[in-house]
Structures are given as C-alpha cells and as structure tokens.
Amino acid sequence: MNSKSAIGMFDSGVGGLTVVREVTRLLPEEEIIYFGDTARFPYGSQAPSRIVEYSKENATFLLSQGVKALVMACNTCSAHAYELLQESLSLPIVDVIAPGAKKAVAATQSGHVAVLGTSGTISSLAYQKAIEKENPAVRVTAIACPLLAPLVEERLFHHPATELIAAEYLKSILKSDVDTLLLGCTHYPMLQPILQKIVGNSVSIVNSASACAEELVCVLQEKKLARASSGQIAAHRYFVTDDLKKFQDLAQSFLPGIQGEFSLASL
Ligand code: DGL
C-alpha cells in the first residue's frame, strides 16, 4: 500500500456515509472503500465484546482490499475497539471520538457540552473521558438515544415522530447552560435540522463526522500518504453485508448523486 491506495472506512450501516461526505469534501481525490455491516445493524445496543469482534472483522475485510488507512466511521466501534485495533494493526487509524471531543471542547463557551450517542457509546464513557482529557473543567451531559439511528435508517429525517422522540431525549438540557451539542453517532448529522430546531440557535451543533475528516487530512499528510491532487473526484466502492438495494436508496439521501460501485460482501 502507498499514497495511491484507497482509504478504508466502516460503520454498522449507512451512518458512516456522513463521514464519506466530509472526507470527499476535503479530499476529493482520495479513493474510498466503504464497508457497511448492514446485516448486523444496529451496533449501538450490542455487547462491547461483540462490537470488538465486528470491528476486527470489518477491519480485516478492508485490509484485504489493500487500504492505506482505516477510518472507524462508527462511534460505537470507536468507543469499544479503537485502542485494540490501533495496538494490533500497523496502518494509521482514525476514529470519531477524540476528534469530536476536541472540537466540542474548543466550541463551548459555557463549559457545558451535551453528547448524544448510542447506548453502547454513552455507557462506554468514551466521550466523557475524551472530553475530560481535553479539558477537565468542561462538564458533560451524556444522553443515550437508542431510537435515533434506526429512525435515520428508516429515512424519517424530518418526520414528526422523530422530532417527538428527539425532543424527549433532549428535554433534560433544554433549560440548562449547555451551549454545545456533540453528535456522537455518525447517523445523527442527518437529523441536524430537527435537533437544531429543538435546542434552538443558541446551541452549536458539533459533528464528529467532520471532526474525523479533518483529523484524517492531518494524519495522511503526516504519514506522507496523501494522494497528489489530480483535480478529479476519485471512484468510491461500497460493500454491505445485507440488503444492497436499501443501502443504495439510503445512500442517495445521504449523498445525493452518489456514484460508485456497490456490492454485497460476505465476511
Ligand atoms: N453509526 C453508529 C455510530 O456512530 C451507530 C448506529 C448503530 O447503532 O449501529 O455509533
């Protein structure tokens, strides 16, 4: 593998496409091989040991494709398996948690950040620890939102039911001094308009997908693995473990006009 090789990314389903979107915006010339484990979605409510196994398998699949770097485009995987993959693999790995935490800490003025994530991500305390590491004075309210990723997978981005459920999750922070809302799940940027409507414009929303893409740019440059700019948008390949048609339809909502090769993968 060299700078011309592709970047490998994985998620439990379509959520990681919000990371693809940000990476394509910053690095249009980079080829991406995306792996969505749609057969085993959702990851957010499963045991940490299972998420570790899935993460290892997903990484092995991408390594077999010859990728030059790995992006864990899933907060639940990042929370449970980032350190382990980093210790066991020799290629650069970028997760979503540390970059998101850093961006949220930089954004808050009141010193109070709320983090939304899957049950697995929130109960792992990964964000709470990452924010504390950045700045121990910043307070964190962490909220598990197990229904949000499935609502995104059902494309109910603007549905009243989604708004009702999101408002229920957010009610504890509405009259607080939280001024920064960190989206700690790669599915949630699709709900940003609804979430912003609920929390109001005085709260800034930080997206861990864009923070992760910015980190990837730095890592590729540092490791001399960035592709020379060709002025052309690179080809992307998408692999999923189930229901290719549903993935393709959803992908159009995430990335309108998305192009690339779509295939079923078996692990
Ligand atoms: N996109 C995944 C994440 O960032 C979560 C969705 C799931 O529960 O599988 O955590």
Residue-wise pLDDT for 38-65, tens only, equals: 999 999 999 999 999 999 999 999 999 9
User: Angle of helix 97-107 relative to helix 75-88, nearest 10 degrees?
Assistant: 120
Cα gap 125→122, rounded to integer Å:
6
Q: Residue with the nearest Cα to atom 2 of ligand 1?
A: 74
- Please say whether the beta carbons of 176 and 141 come within 8 A: yes
Q: What is the gyration radius of the CA atoms in the chain, in angstroms?
A: 17
Q: Does residue 138 register a pLDDT over 80?
A: yes
Q: Is 145 a catalytic residue?
A: no
Q: 228 C-alpha vs ligand 1 centroid, how far in Å?
A: 32
Q: Which ligand 1 atom sits nearest the alpha carbon of residue 186?
A: 4
The per-residue pLDDT for 172 is 95
Instruction: Please name which of 32, 22, 11, 24 lies closest in space to residue 78, comparing C-alpha atoms.
Output: 11
Please indicate whether residue 77, judged by its CB atom, sits closer than 6 Å to ligand 1: no
Q: Does residue 230 register a pLDDT over 80?
A: no
Band the pLDDT of 229: cuts 50, 70, 90. Answer: confident
The per-residue pLDDT for 111 is 98
Cα gap 84→77, rounded to integer Å:
11
Distances (CA, A) of 7 to 82, 153, 249: 17, 24, 23
The per-residue pLDDT for 228 is 86
Band the pLDDT of 203: cuts 50, 70, 90. Answer: very high
Q: Is the alpha carbon torsion for 153, 156, 162, 166 positive or negative?
A: positive
In what order do the strands lie in the sheet containing 261-264?
93-94, 69-72, 7-11, 32-36, 236-240, 261-264
Note the pLDDT tens digit of each residue in 2-30: 899 999 999 999 999 999 999 999 999 99
**Type of residue numbered 222:** E
Q: 165 C-alpha vs ligand 1 centroid, how far in Å?
A: 17
Q: Does residue 162 register a pLDDT over 80?
A: yes
Q: Does residue 231 register a pLDDT over 90?
A: no
Q: Does residue 185 register a pLDDT over 80?
A: yes
Q: 134 C-alpha vs ligand 1 centroid, how far in Å?
A: 24
Model confidence, pTM? 0.95
Mean pLDDT score across all residues of the chain: 96
The per-residue pLDDT for 27 is 95
**Type of residue numbered 221:** Q
- Please say whether the beta carbons of 21 and 254 come within 8 A: yes
Band the pLDDT of 263: cuts 50, 70, 90. Answer: very high
Average pLDDT rounded to a whole number, residues 137-159? 96
